[in-house]
Amino acid sequence: MWFYLNGQFVEDADAKISVTDRAFLYGDGCFEGLGVTQGRIPHLDDHIARFFRSARMLRIEVPLSPEKLMDAILETGARNGMRDVAGAYMRPLLSRGSGPLGVKNSRKVGPPNLVIIPQLSGRETLFGDHMAICNAVITRFTRAGSESLDPGVKSNNYLTSILAFMEAQDQDPDVEVAVVHDPQGFLAEGHAMNLFCVSDGKVLSPMSSGALRGITRHHVLNVAHKLGYETIETNLSDYDLVCADEAFITSAMESIAAIGKVNGAPLNGPVPGPITMRLREAYLEHAWRTATEIPRTH
């Protein structure tokens, strides 16, 4: 595998940074998760824009322009043969850099480290006919709110998500979604994905003030609106998820996946539900049509 590392492409054995890097020491940085399917990256422009917004909020300067970062991502995909595989993943990741230990020394570290990490997933294409069906567990964990770190920042610190998923596995070894709350006790999101409920024909999503502003989430909401569904961003409780007619998650790696069980209990309606299936079909058509192609050579 070829990794991008601060302006160079290196193989696995040479893809190294210092143990004093701030992402290793403190989770001090941000990233994006890019799903790759059949040689295309959906919503690449949106992911790059969010990456730069996250970096701005963390007061880290990205060493490349958005255009140059896109070129580096596409070259990483091309070098790793992602044009010709069903599914893959790339993670552009930025850290504040290396330097002396201690939070008080945050202005004394640098320059920033920028890497792009490739992974061939071996999974089926996101654009196939099969929709994944997930088990969800509602955990006791709370996602940090805007009073600490704005949920719009996709930061390198995922401890809440990691611990939430481990707690969910204690209840259900086959769990795929660990649901966390916002600081007010309402549903926020899954551990690495956005959450939706469908009730009485309405498509409901938790407030974006308490969850990551997911790229796939944004496009699914737009597709739902164009299809004529009423979309409501609102405070959702555990009750709303457990009693939903349908529920699903969105993410760059799953596109749309149905939730079949919550805390071990099946949802009331069919899984996947009719609205979930219609949204997935329309979203995938939109995502495929607008996706960025990885070149065979770069």
Task: Write the pLDDT tens digit of every residue in 28-42.
Answer: 999 999 999 989 999
Q: What angle do CA 288, 291, 294 make, to 5 degrees?
A: 115
| Helix (H/G/I), strand (E/B), else coil: 270 | coil
Rounded to an integer, the average pLDDT of 143-165 is 90
Q: What is the DSSP letter of 21?
A: B
Fold of 2-120: D-amino Acid Aminotransferase; Chain A, domain 1 (3.30.470)
Q: What is the DSSP letter of 271?
A: S
149 — pLDDT class (breaks 50, 70, 90): confident
Q: What is the dihedral of CA 263, 161, 91, 35, to 10 degrees?
A: 20
What is the pTM for the complete model shown?
0.94
Q: Where are the domains of the chain?
A: 2-120, 133-288
pLDDT digits 0-9 by tens, 166-178: 999 999 999 999 9
Beta-bridge partner residues of 137 = 178
CATH 3.20.10.10 for the 133-288 domain, yes or no: yes
| Helix (H/G/I), strand (E/B), else coil: 8 | strand
Q: What is the dihedral of CA 155, 158, 160, 161, to 10 degrees?
A: 120
